[in-house]
Amino acid sequence: MDHPAFSKHLLRLKLQETSNAEGEETVTVSWRALQLPWLELDWFMDVSSRITHLDLSSNSLAALPSVVPWGLIHLLTLDLSNNLLKELPDAENSQGVICSSLQQINLSRNQLTSLPPGLLHLTNIQRLSAAKNQLTVLFDIPSTTNWIGLRKLEELDVSDNCLTDLPTSVMHCLKSLSCLNVCRNTLSSFPDPWACPLKQCKASSNVIEKLPNTISIFWRTQLQEVDFSDNSLKELPSYIFELEAVVLLRFCGNHIATLPAPSKWKCSQLRTLDLSRNQLGKTEEEPKSRKLSFLTTWSKRDPDPDPVCPIEFPMILRDSLEVLFLNDNQLECVPQSVCGLHSLSELYLSNNPGIRELPAELSQLSSLWQLDTEDLHITNVPQEVRSEGPASVLSFLRAHLRKAEPFKLLKMLAIGPPRQGKTALLEALQTGRAAPFTPTDCSISTSTWELDKPNGGKNSKDSVAFNVWDIGGQANMSTVNQCFFTDRALYVVIWNLALGEEAVANLQTWLLNIEARAPNSAVVVVGTHLDLIDTKFRTERLATLRAYILALCRSPSGARATGYPDITWKHLHEVSCKTMEGLDGLKKLIYQVALSMKDSSSSGGGSKLLGRLIPRSYLTLQEAVITEKQRRDGEGEVQYLTDDQLDCIIEQNPGSDIRDYEDLQTAISFLIETGTLLHFPDTSHGLCTLYFLCPVWLSECLERIMHLKSSRSIARNGVIRTEDLRMLLVGTGFTPQTEEQYFQFLAKFEIALPVASNSYLLPHLLPPKPAMDIHGFKQQTNNTLQRLVQMSFVPAGFWERLIARMLISLNEMDLQSFEPKRNIRSQPSRNSVIYSFAGTQQRNRCSTFRVRRSQTIYWKEGLLVTFDGGYLSVESSDVSWKRKKSGGIKIICQSEMRDFSAMAFITDNVNLLIEQWFPALTASESDGSLLIEQFAPCPLCASPGQQKRAEVVAGPVGQVGEKTAGGGDGVHYFNMEDCVLAAVEKEHIVCPQHPDQPVTLQELVFSAPTSVRCNYISVGKAHLSAKQDCG
């Protein structure tokens, strides 16, 4: 400032000149925070007529030259905030105010005692802030002044001043006002409302005693936010709740003691209501209210009624109100109507010394996550529950509301290969004695068992109860018995130690099935016949066998293998059912494992399954279902309930609080988990509408099918006609109304799979080996293509479904190639619905495979189709892969015409099956390796001319993994993915066995499944065009 010229020079640097849309040069002045003590005209006079934005905020200005702002003709925005201004230059009349474009003025943080009268002449002003000044009156208007400004003002902020009132003469001129902030003044009243689109009205921290009663007349459909907190309101008139658009209402810190009657409320959009720090619930005339309630009939019955809360919230808030502050009031109890506010997510109740109980119905508020009860002396929720937070309090209340009881029964399934000692072991556990051997025909039996805490003495408090299902029976039943596998149960997998390593391998399918059907279960693997293991070598022998079991369930990297349950050495045990050796240890193990099971459905997922709280009505339902089961058993009635019958049973209990669908599902899950009934949620063909009561009965129904002999003519080649399958239902209790559900059940568990519109495949009838010697067909020639699909595990039902699917596809192929005019729609509709499970997708894939089949042979894990000039074969092949014994599919396709479309036909079928039914196989192991990979043997290595080892094809393939690396002595296997990638670049790929003789990729790749080929083609095209671009 001591060097005016220099100051001017510096300030001029902060002018920004731009030209506006009309081509005029405009100037923006940014002189913010420069400690300017005054404003020199010389600094800007030459450009003053071009200034559009003037920022002088945060300086030390105490006065302004009269040209600012009134003489700046093009000024749009003016910021004078944070200065020392006591007043603005005078503008005598409207002629002195030429800044008619001015839209925004910020005068906040100055020392103004009233707003400059010049503002009254601004006709385009939209935003005006004068917060944090010393305004005592809004405008000091000489009586001679005529003014017509402020009509377009939308936002007025005069908060933090000393205003005692807002003159209606000014306020009623603000025809466009939408936001008004008058917080922190000393207003004792609010001006009478007027016609304007007011949206926000903030008037907190004043001394307003009363709200104007026309508020809902003028602002009913516009006003959204109203804040009158920290005033002196004594009551809330009903009209404030008639504002239909209001979203936020704040009335905290007043003297409000009551609310208007619920019928008066119209604010159905209200989301936040703050009534904290008031006097709600305060009853001055205690005796009067008591007398009143005495008069009602209700209190006549109950002379000492619970405290009745005078505060009531209307039901119209039910779907809107999310946040409710009631803290710091004088409530005697939580208003019951709060429990009806279904959208509530936050509720603040702290500091209402009278509140002693939380209503149990609060727990029905499903969105509530914040429940503030600090400093309350709640007696009906234990302190330890309260200290765990709102979620725990609410679940405690919910349990209380539903009269829940801790439940300590689990379902336990004894499973494993046949004749291993399952029944003997259960008998030994339950009776403590070696049982005399009594063979039974029945494949499943149930019992109950109470296991006392080991070393805990006879204290039933700590005991665990089990519903034990002994799932045994003949070998052919063991696959179908998976339908009894339910989730969140304890599985005891039993095997005979004396059978050694071979028997361990047989456990694989059992373990895979548990993980597939019951992933939240606990598994214990128990070896029986310990007495048959020589005591001399026992320790080593057991260690070896244990290592075998663990190797099954672990991937080579040591992590849990995909598809297997989590089993560690802690879950393994050995016993003798003859000498009872190891039985005490087993009891201890079972007790520990049962106790450690987690309730995966609970909110945190971390609480224990045993002792979880079960609503009373679930328990009543359980009892009723058991009674019904026994009644039906006695009267020889069918052992399933339909939807309606279950509803009836629920309705028989008048106290039942099972109301909605979700709750019913939870109740049913409880019944399933405890072994009270069986239910399958599949909606297709209505399977979910049946509830099976008795597993023994269900098992008997299945036995009728499983005991069919393949010699019986009704099931030739393992295929049965629908009529014949229907005949097997006679006498079971299934009716024409429920037969569709039953067939769906059979398909679900691969007991009978639809293969054509009127026939089903019964996989159990398929021979384990091809019915004839097929090796004659498989003469290795040069016209053969092979493919090997490696799978980390073969899921249960895989082969059954693959065979059924291929039979369907082959039938379709026949129809398409040779009977094109046959109208498929003429088939009976119901059957075609069942049949359509193969999916329409399959037909859409453009399989070009067309042959006239001469023979089709299929067995448990394989299928062979012969035709003129070639054959096609698919079969399982055990391979060692990833250092483990695993499953594989070997596909061979031979064609004299060198038409290998059959290969694509098969691989499409395999891929689609996996996609639709076994998606778990498309995942990868914890070390990132794929669970499924495809290999193709080098056609040159495999050809007889090159290798005299034709048995490579027919015999076990061996170490494929190693072979791809080029080692070994046999045939090299190319990874299909590598081949497809290589095919983009070149026509040949090099086989490490004979690098001088490259292998053509053409056939290796072009017989890949349609999807891969498409990929290849698109990748190839992209690649080509990229090449062209470069060239």
Site residues for Mg ion per CB under 5 A: 422-423, 472
Q: Which of 109, 386, 529, 685 binds ligand GTP (CB under 6 A)?
A: 529
Token pair recorded at residue 492:
């005891």
DSSP 359-385: -GGGGG-TT--EEE-TT---SSS-HHH
C-beta of residue 400 within 8 angstroms of C-beta of residue 480:
no
Report in angstroms how near the CB of residue 416 gets to ligand GTP at its nearest. 6
Q: How far is the CB of 881 from Mg ion (least distance, A)?
A: 35
The interface partner of residue 418, options being Mg ion, ligand GTP, none and the CB cut-off 5 to 8 Å by kind, is ligand GTP
Query: Does 784 engage in binding with ligand GTP (CB under 6 A)?
Result: no
- Partner that binds at residue 1009, options ligand GTP, Mg ion, none, CB closer than 5 to 8 Å by kind: none
Measured CA to CA in angstroms, residue 237 lies from 241, 251, 454 at distances of 8, 12, 68
Q: Does 210 bind ligand GTP (CB under 6 A)?
A: no
Which residue shows structure tokens 């249960």? Answer: 796
Nearer to ligand GTP, 281 or 473 (CB): 473
Would you say 51 or 530 has its CB closer to ligand GTP? 530
As a whole number of angstroms, the distance between CA 236 and CA 267 comes to 14
Shortest Å distance, C-beta 469 to ligand GTP: 12
Residue 132 to residue 112: CA distance in whole angstroms: 9
- Which member of 437, 537, 569, 818 binds ligand GTP (CB under 6 A)? 437
> Which among Mg ion, ligand GTP, none contacts residue 473 (Cβ within 5 to 8 A by kind)?
ligand GTP
β-bridge partners, 973: 937
C-beta of 204 vs 423, nearer to ligand GTP: 423
- What is the smallest separation between the CB atom of 567 and Mg ion, expressed in angstroms? 23
Question: Least distance (Å) from ligand GTP to the CB of residue 700?
Answer: 15
What minimum distance in Å lies between the beta carbon of 707 and ligand GTP?
Answer: 15
CB of 680 to Mg ion, least distance (A): 25
Q: CB nearer to ligand GTP: give 219 or 495.
A: 495
In terms of phi and psi (left: phi > 0; alpha: psi -120 to 50; beta: otherwise), the region of 63 is beta
Q: Which is nearer to ligand GTP, 423 or 993 (CB)?
A: 423
The smaller minimum CB distance to ligand GTP, of residues 483 and 788, is found at: 483
578 binds ligand GTP (CB under 6 A): yes
Contact yes or no for 128/134 (Cβ under 8 A): no
- Which 3 state secondary structure label does DSSP give 743? helix
CA 202 – CA 228 distance, rounded (Å): 7
> How far is CA 516 from its chain centroid?
19
The full 3-state SS of 657-696, as one line of letters, equals CCCCHHHHHHHHHHHHHCCCCECCCCCHHHHHHEEECCHH
Candidate list 45, 217, 391, 532; residue touching ligand GTP; CB under 6 A = 532
* One of 424, 516, 593, 957 touching ligand GTP (CB under 6 A): 424
β-pair type (690-692, 640-642): antiparallel
Residues near ligand GTP (CB under 6 A), total? 17
Residue among 472, 565, 754, 961 that touches ligand GTP (CB under 6 A)? 472
Q: How far is the CB of 412 from ligand GTP (least distance, A)?
A: 14
Tell the smallest beta-carbon distance from residue 680 to ligand GTP (Å). 24
Q: How far is CA 828 from the centre of its chain?
A: 39
Tell me: does residue 528 bind ligand GTP (CB under 6 A).
Answer: yes
Q: Of ligand GTP, Mg ion, none, which one sits near residue 178, judging by CB under 5 to 8 A according to partner kind?
A: none
Shorter beta-carbon distance to ligand GTP: residue 373 or 445:
445
If contact means CB under 5 to 8 A according to the sort of partner, which of Mg ion, ligand GTP, none does residue 571 touch? none
| Choice between 417 and 615, CB closer to ligand GTP | 417
Residue ranges of alpha helices (H) inside 433-473 are none
Q: Measured from the CB atom, is 99 or 575 closer to Mg ion?
A: 575
Under a CB-based contact definition with an 8 Å cutoff, are residues 797 and 750 in contact? yes
Identify which range of 208-216, 528-536, 549-557, 749-757 contacts ligand GTP by CB under 6 A.
Answer: 528-536
- 578's contact among ligand GTP, Mg ion, none, with CB below 5 to 8 A by partner kind, is ligand GTP
Q: What's the sign of the alpha-carbon dihedral 491, 495, 497, 501? A: negative
Residue type present at position 723: E
Provide, rounded to whole angstroms, the least separation between the CB of residue 632 and Mg ion. 25
**Which region among 108-116, 529-537, 886-894, 933-941 touches ligand GTP (by CB under 6 A)?**
529-537
Please say which residue, 527 or 754, places its beta carbon nearer to ligand GTP: 527
If DSSP codes are grouped into helix, strand and coil, which group holds residue 427? helix
Binding residue for ligand GTP (CB under 6 A) from 117, 473, 675, 888?
473
- Compute the half-sphere exposure of residue 740: CA atoms within 13 Å on the CB side of its CA: 15
Distance spanning both ends of the chain, measured CA to CA:
70
Task: Identify which of residues 281 and 472 has a Cβ nearer to Mg ion in the complex.
Answer: 472
CB atoms within 10 A of CB 318: 15
Least distance between Mg ion and beta carbon 663 (Å): 38
Q: How far apart are CA 39 and CA 43, in angstroms?
A: 8
881: number of Cβ within 10 Å:
22
Q: Pick the closest to residue 872 from 787, 973, 979 (CA basis).
A: 787
Interatomic CA distance for residues 10 and 148, integer angstroms: 40
Residue 189, class by beta-carbon neighbours within 10 Å (0-12 exposed, 13-18 middle, 19+ buried)?
A: middle
- What's the token pair of residue 52? 């559009």
The site partner of 529 among Mg ion, ligand GTP, none (C-beta below 5 to 8 Å per kind) is ligand GTP
Binding mask 393-422 for ligand GTP (x = CB under 6 A): -------------------------xxxxx
DSSP assigned state of 234: -
By DSSP bridging, strand 370-372 and strand 932-937 are unpaired
Q: Which is nearer to ligand GTP, 418 or 432 (CB)?
A: 418
Nearer to ligand GTP among residue 149 and residue 582 (C-beta): 582
Among residues 577, 752, 952, 989, which is the contact residue for ligand GTP, using CB under 6 A?
Answer: 577
Residue 708 CA to residue 715 CA, distance in Å, equals 8
Residue from 395, 486, 576, 877 that binds ligand GTP (CB under 6 A)?
A: 576
Q: Based on CB atoms, which residue is closest to ligand GTP, 532 or 965?
A: 532
Rounded least distance, CB 422 to ligand GTP, Å = 3
How far apart are the C-alpha atoms of 124 and 467, rounded to whole Å?
82
Question: Given candidates 320, 423, 555, 639, which one binds ligand GTP under the rule CB under 6 A?
Answer: 423
- Kindly write out the interface string for residues 827-856 of this chain, putting x where it contacts ligand GTP by CB under 6 A and - elsewhere: ------------------------------
Q: What is residue 297's DSSP assignment? A: H
For ligand GTP, give the closer residue by CB, 474 or 854.
474
Q: Is 492 in the site for ligand GTP (CB under 6 A)?
A: no
Q: Of the candidates 642, 625, 633, which has an alpha carbon nearest to the alpha carbon of residue 676?
A: 625
Report how far Cα 539 is from the mean position of its chain's Cα atoms.
47
Question: Shortest Cβ distance from residue 732 to ligand GTP (Å)?
Answer: 23
Q: Which residue is nearest to ligand GTP (CB)?
A: 472
**Position of tokens 């080991």?**
454
Evaluate whether 275 touches 328 at the Cβ level (below 8 Å). no
Residue 253, binding choice from Mg ion, ligand GTP, none, Cβ under 5 to 8 Å by partner class: none
Does residue 484 sit in helix, strand or coil? helix
Which of ligand GTP, Mg ion, none is residue 890 near (CB under 5 to 8 Å by kind)? Answer: none
What is the C-alpha separation between 223 and 241, in angstroms, rounded?
A: 11
Task: Please report, as ranges, the residues that interact with ligand GTP according to CB under 6 A.
Answer: 418-424, 437, 472-473, 528-529, 531-532, 576-578
